[in-house]
């Protein structure tokens, strides 16, 4: 077993949300942009897309980081068969929340952990599925929320760790960190499988 403090841990992401989550483990790590095209393939299912992109991100960063543990993660939101990405602006965020109102939105959050210490390189995979049941939201509620929190860089147009929680009727999840973007319970399991000691 290897101590996580003695491991070169690399997060294949520039996300501030994933950085904050990984920091909860209390160990040093680096962030590196994976530079991966995140477009869905024709007909690609949301869970398959999340898993593919998590692996692509980890693989891209692992290629330039020998002797490291590289974490890739991706989240895809599915609302009645439609993928909800990061809205980017107010108009698209408004549209997403109107579509989510009184609906169930399923978030698929995938992780790929690549161990470049080993020969051959080892990969570990996990995916978390969290369902968010939205309240029936009025246009005024949506507008107030978006103006206040501006969640334009978040899949589904909300921040569950912030005021986004006020939009929900309930959350069905095995891991509350998954909805924010990095399922720590699954990640800790993969690190243990890779031979890393955790507290």
User: Rounded distance, CA 166 to CA 78, Å?
Assistant: 20
Catalytic residue (choose from 8, 37, 74, 89): 74
User: Rounded distance, CA 86 to CA 83, Å?
Assistant: 10
β-strand pairing of 69-79 with 104-115: antiparallel
Close Cβ partners of 21 (under 8 Å, ≥ 6 residues apart): 177, 180, 181, 182, 184
Task: Specify whether 8 is catalytic.
Answer: no
Report the run of H or E that residue 94 belongs to, with start and end: helix 90-100
Distance linking the first and last C-alpha atoms of the chain: 12
Residues that are catalytic = 74
């Amino acid at each position: 077993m290897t101590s996580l403090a003695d491991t070169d841990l690399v997060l294949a992401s520039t996300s501030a949300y994933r950085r904050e989550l990984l920091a909860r483990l209390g160990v040093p790590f680096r962030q590196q942009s994976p530079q991966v095209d995140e477009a869905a393939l024709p007909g690609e299912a949301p869970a398959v897309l999340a898993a593919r992109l998590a692996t692509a991100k980890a693989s891209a960063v692992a290629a330039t980081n020998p002797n490291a543990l590289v974490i890739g993660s991706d989240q895809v939101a599915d609302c009645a068969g439609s993928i909800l990405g990061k809205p980017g602006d107010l108009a698209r965020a408004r549209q997403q929340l109107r579509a989510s109102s009184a609906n169930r939105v399923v978030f698929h959050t995938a992780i790929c952990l690549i161990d470049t210490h080993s020969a051959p390189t080892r990969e570990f995979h996990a995916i978390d599925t969290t369902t968010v049941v939205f309240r029936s939201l009025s246009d005024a509620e949506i507008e107030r929320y978006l103006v206040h929190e501006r969640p334009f860089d978040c899949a589904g147009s909300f921040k569950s760790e912030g005021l986004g929680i006020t939009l929900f009727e309930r959350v069905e999840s095995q891991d509350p960190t998954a909805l924010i973007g990095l399922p720590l319970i699954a990640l800790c399991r993969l690190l243990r499988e890779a031979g890393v000691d955790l507290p």
